[in-house]
Amino acid sequence: MPTYTVTVANIALSPQQKSQIADAITTAHNTQTGAPRFFAQVLFFSTREGEHFVGGSVNQAPQVYVHGLVRQGRSTGVKQALMSQMLEEIVRIAGITAEDVWIYLQDIPETQMIEFGRFLPAPGEETEWEKGMTPEKRSGV
């Protein structure tokens, strides 16, 4: 359900670091929202040298950007706890400062999202919705 796009600039993450960050984002989403772990997906992209600009100038600093598309309906406190947990873990895993991590969450109504071939449930209604999935999809296969 949540889709997190991680874009890095001026830093090369190893496959192990990507896996750790994906797990950290998934864990944070599960811990803070209660949504099942298998709902979260994390995609990684890298910019090439000279393709990232800040303030109109080429950025030279190693930075990590996380853009999360999540279902609306969660409180500001839940969303800030989610972002704070992700920030702490990304800093630790990537070995950069908190000032070099940018995180954005964007709320989308569940009525405007289709995953696993169906419109998504409202937050808190996942258990009933999940019953309509195949066992393979529920297990993350």
pLDDT in tens, 29-74: 999 998 888 889 999 999 998 899 989 999 999 999 999 999 898 9
Beta bridge partners of 101: 64
The phi and psi torsions of 62 (rounded to 5 degrees) equal -70, 125
Mean pLDDT taken over the chain: 91
H helices of 7-75, where? Answer: 15-33
CB-based contacts of 9, cutoff 8 Å, min separation 6: 46, 47, 51, 52, 59, 61, 62, 63, 65
Asked if residue 140 has pLDDT above 80, the reply is no
State the CATH number of the domain containing residue 96.
Answer: 3.30.429.10
Q: Which of 41, 23, 44 is nearest to 92 (CA)?
A: 23
Please report which confidence band the pLDDT of residue 102 belongs to, taking 50, 70 and 90 as the band edges. very high
Entry pTM: 0.88
Confidence at residue 78, expressed as pLDDT on a 0 to 100 scale: 95
Number of domains in the chain: 1
Q: What percent of the chain has pLDDT over 70?
A: 98
CB-based contacts of 116, cutoff 8 Å, min separation 6: 133, 137
As a whole number of angstroms, the distance between CA 106 and CA 51 comes to: 24
Residues 17-23 have a mean pLDDT of 98
- Look up the domain containing 51 and give its range: 3-138
